[in-house]
Structure 1
Amino acid sequence: MALVQVDFVSQKLKRTVTINAIIPVDKESGKRKEKFKTLYLLHGIFGNYTDWVCGTRIQRWAQDHDLAVIMPSGENKFYVDNDNSHEYFSQFIGEELIEVTRAMFPLSHQREDTFIAGLSMGGYGALTNGLKYHQTFGYIAALSSALMIDTFVEAKDGKDVPYMMKRSYLTSVFGDLTKLKGSDKDYKALIEKLDVKDVPAIYMACGTEDALLTQNRDYRDFLKAHHIPLTYEEGPGGHEWDFWDRYIKRVLEWLPINEKNEGLSSGHVEMDERKG
């Protein structure tokens, strides 16, 4: 398994960006002929490209299942485009990052082999970009998703308001908040604009002690009302890494990836002398 840190100049963000990539290249089964299925994995607010590797066992599980995992940084910007700031995070995730990583690593170009997932802010980003770029992503997984645009539209400024909920901050991220509903940043509007057959398969999970549980249940009910195929789960836990560590494993069990094949690693050493 290779854990690779990559720096490159993004044309969509107009600066050097850093990503982590898990590439399971060191199995002993001979030269690989098939290209890797790929999960684009988005972090939550306050995080960066290191979060998933530091907070979960994704590196181990990706290795076991021959899954490539690409982890970019979203810089607290909810993975959306903003014409005012000239930051195009949605285009970065849905177009540029795909092109760059496919050119760099042996990744499958097939929609059915290309997945997007995330937690909290990244769950929102996975849903909106997975739907917006539905021709690229065949599967979407969203954990503890920050599905809060109804709250964002009504946001106010004030000294007692957390900065990420201030209207001034949200405007700097999303642009004109009065135009948020119905836009390509609206996870419900994106569903309504697609034929059911074009919607990627969706998995959602949220902790029963998570403050975002109501919003996740609301979107679950919305998807069911629109006859969208959905796998939805809840379990004990809050907005925390213990929950996300458990449920990213559930995501991998849900995705159409290879059966477990541990291969040679420091955590799986063959000790049977009869095979020596």
Structure 2
Amino acid sequence: MPSSFRTIELSDPVFESQNLRFLTVKTSNLKGRGDICLYVPQVDENLDDLPIYILLHGVYGSAWIWAMKGGAHKTTERLINNKTIKPAIIAMPSDGLWGDGSAYFAHHQKNFDNWIVNDVITAVKENIPEAKNSISTCIGGLSMGGYGALSLGGRFPEKFKAISGHSSITKLEQMTLFVEEPLEAYQQEAKFTDVIDILKENKLKLPPFRFDCGVSDDLFEANKLLHNQLLKANIPHEYEEFNGGHEWPYWIEHLEKTLIFFNQNS
């Protein structure tokens, strides 16, 4: 079967560790290469339909950060080993590496959205035997990645079985809290940039979704507002508040909730 990508580089098992793999493909959506860090659990060799759980990173990060700063693979492995969740592949792609963060939508002639919702899924299924016949994909993320998960899940609801966001940006203008690029640099053709507008537009098609935020987070009030807007719009969802701020200890602690939620819905 021919590849969907002109070039592919996959890490060599001889040098891999902790069930982490690295994949780089060239894609027209990025007009160049995109990176994906993968956690692939050890399973029966006959299994080729594991669900794919995509985790999107925040500003400043890249494909490595959910694993190497957040230990996402360790959390996943623990939950699999104690049978809290069924085996699943964790796909941790880069956002396309534009500026301090691409925000996961199309701008500057690059389709950062299609990279995630099309290329990442295709690349995993074509190059990871355990996902060859996967029919279940979920998407989650933190901060800008939470914005990406909620907005992409809302725009492409047919692609995902479940959505989850931690400490999510809920409106595009909140990117200015983190990036040096001016807001006007994020020019796009999408109809909406606010998460609530995206979710309302496809309210009858949305997969199950959840989000949470720490009460000490600068984005807490924005997340609480989104929750109330969703209630007013009669859009089913799960929302939780916890102690903590916009920081890795919070995301490490609460990633478990995302993985369990995905497992329940995939």
TM range (shorter): 0.7 to 0.9
1:224-271 per-residue CA deviation (whole Å, 9 max, x = no partner) reads 22222211111111000000001101112222259xxxxxxxxxxxxx
Partner amino acid, structure 1, of 2:231? K
Equivalent runs, 1:28-43 vs 2, <5 Å: 30-33=44-47, 35-43=49-57
Match of 1:234, SS?
strand
Aligned pair partner of 1:10 in 27, 30, 34: 27
Shift >4 Å, 4+ stretches: none
Q: Structure 2, unaligned stretches of length 5 or more?
A: 1-17
Distance 2:127 2:264 in 1: 21
Distance 2:28 2:168 in 1: 28
Instruction: Give the drift of 1:10.
Output: 1.6
1:100 is aligned to 2:154: no
Aligned pair partner of 2:92 in 39, 53, 71: 71
Q: Give the RMSD, CA atoms, in angstroms.
A: 2.2
- The residue number in structure 1 matching 2:200 is 192
* Contact 1:132 1:184 survives alignment (8 Å): no
Equivalent runs, 1:146-225 vs 2, <5 Å: 146-149=169-172, 164=179, 169-172=182-185, 174-175=186-187, 183-196=191-204, 198-225=205-232
Instruction: Give the drift of 1:186.
Output: 2.9
Instruction: Give the drift of 1:195.
Output: 4.0
* Contact 2:162 2:207 survives alignment (8 Å): yes
Partner amino acid, structure 2, of 1:129? L
Aligned pair partner of 1:54 in 46, 56, 68: 68
**Is the radius of gyration larger for structure 1 or structure 2?**
1
Instruction: Give the drift of 1:71.
Output: 0.7
Distance 1:141 1:2 in 2: 24
- The residue number in structure 2 matching 1:140 is 163
Q: Structure 1 residues 257, 36: closer, same or farther in 2, change over 3 A?
A: farther
Match of 2:159, SS?
coil
* Contact 1:44 1:121 survives alignment (8 Å): yes
Distance 1:18 1:222 in 2: 35
* Contact 2:53 2:262 survives alignment (8 Å): no
Question: How many residue pairs align between the two structures?
Answer: 235
Q: Structure 1 residues 18, 150: closer, same or farther in 2, change over 3 A?
A: closer
